[in-house]
Amino acid sequence: MTVTSVRESAISILAAAGIESPDVDAELLIGHVIGASRGEVQAKSVMGSALTDAQGRAIADLIERRAAREPLQHITGHAPFRSLDLAVGPGVFVPRPETELVAQFAIDALRSAATPEPIGVDLGTGSGAIALAMAVEVPHARVFGVENSPQAFIWTRQNFRESGAVNARPVFIDLADALPELDGTVSVVISNPPYIPAGAIPRDPEVRLFDPEHALYGGADGLDVVRRVSLTARRLLHAGGTLVLEHGELQGGVIADLLAADGWRAIATHPDLLGRDRATTALR
């Protein structure tokens, strides 16, 4: 049994299961078992390096799970996000690459805040991805990650603890009641709230079957939590503070109208790398 044969078999199985990048997932799962990077797996494949029977069985088990559309990040227990390596699993939303670009708006606003110790708040932090990215990349800031799901908060606490970011603190509380002691002092509030309408069904099995419902669905029109975030952010932010919201590609216009009705100004919708509306920013 060699890395070459196992890799080729794994790619074939994952491709037949409809995995978008079967070669990437196969190499990452092989590497997870043998303790190698993806590049090292590719090199071992070229060289025809041998695998033990135990390694082969372990890889086959993981490939079977991935073919059943269990998220790669749940299988490995890790999800990359910007410079971070986050622990994830059942009960918490797996951070997506497109959110890295949304987080940049908050990081830029936090860096440019005219105060020696600006405050950033991530409402609905989940794994802590956005909050920890802000804390690590803007080390002179104080950052709070707010979560209201007991299942997700298990992962929140673990990632905050393992990140070593002493300027970041996880908070378990309902978003509407979050951090009243900070009212009027926060520079940046960001949220990637649940925004899928209750009647919509996500296409990807990884999302539909494995992501927690509380992180996906936002009421009949998908905007219940967005409305809550708008009100909480207005309470927390000081004058001139920045709100950043991630949302679906068809929601930019209605969210802009919602924010305008709540009294926000300088509202702007921003596309992702594929040109689809992905984020809206506004000033208090």
From residue 197, how far is each of 128, 203, 212 by CA, in Å? 24, 13, 15
Query: How confident is the model at residue 247, as a pLDDT?
Result: 97
Which of 44-48, 110-114, 173-177, 211-215 is least confident? 211-215
- Per-residue pLDDT band for 72 (boundaries 50, 70, 90) equals very high
* Whether 182 contacts 121, CB under 8 Å: yes
Strands 237-246 and 265-271: unpaired
Q: Is the per-residue pLDDT at 161 higher than 90?
A: yes
Give the model confidence (pLDDT) of 225-244 as tens digits: 999 999 999 999 999 999 99
Give this prediction's pTM.
0.91
Residues 6+ away with beta carbon under 8 Å from 121: 143, 144, 146, 178, 179, 182, 186, 188, 189, 190, 233, 236
Residue for token pair 């708006």: 105
**Element (H or E) spanning 242, and its range?**
strand 237-246
Give the model confidence (pLDDT) of 219-229 as tens digits: 999 999 999 99
Query: How confident is the model at residue 181, as a pLDDT?
Result: 98
Measured distance CA(256)–CA(269) in Å, rounded:
8
